[in-house]
Structure 1
Amino acid sequence: LRGRIERLAERLEELVAEPAHPALLHGDIWSGNLRVGEGRIHGLIDPAIYAGHPEIELAFLTMFGTAGAPFFDAYAALRPEFDRRGFAERRPLYLIYPHLTHVMIEGPGWARPLAALLDRLGA
């Protein structure tokens, strides 16, 4: 996997562009770190805050099924510049880092999903 990831890293500039306006990202957004009730989010916990492309956070929300179509519909309504098709193409790239983290923390069982992402990216 290491060689595949290194080859992918060489192509990053062609795969993704810097955002026009970086966003403040939670950094570990999933259902366990959301406080939800009565149909709305009441709080976020356990942040690993940094500035980056908003799509990174959106991709992470899909990793464990935290956010579905209604969330993305609302997001697109609020952010008309959101390119769903482009995001769908870039999503596997944004999921490489959290999958690598899970390989390191959770073990080799995460190597297969990581390899599948690399396959989708042609790496």
Structure 2
Amino acid sequence: MDEARPIFQQIAERVENDILSGALSEEGQVPSTNEFAMFYRINPATAGKGVNLLVEQGILYKRRGIGMFVAAGARERITARRRELFVLEYIAPMLAEAASLGIKPDQITQLIENQLSERETR
């Protein structure tokens, strides 16, 4: 667990990661809040808060008396939201810093391509 962020947000993110990786499929059942609580050794109310966050976002839905399930289109919604966050948290600050350093867009592209090439050779 990451001490910097609330546990319920971490639970929600782990479920999202499982959806993105395919470990949880659309229309597939997710663990119950009690199962999350036991696995992560947290209060069931905290686990429930994480699950409910995903319900509010349309990522999960409840089948009365059965449990929680991954909503159709959940993977696309998660991907779209995370791409928006990626731009806000990484791209925008990077471009602002590049501008302050006088780095031109074509130079940024070249720097990124160089980093990708280095990663491929590792």
**TM-score of the superposition, structure 2-length normalised?**
0.29
**TM-score of the superposition, structure 1-length normalised?**
0.28
Structure ranking higher in strand proportion = 1
Structure ranking higher in helix proportion = 2
Instruction: Choose 1 or 2 for highest CA Rg.
Output: 2
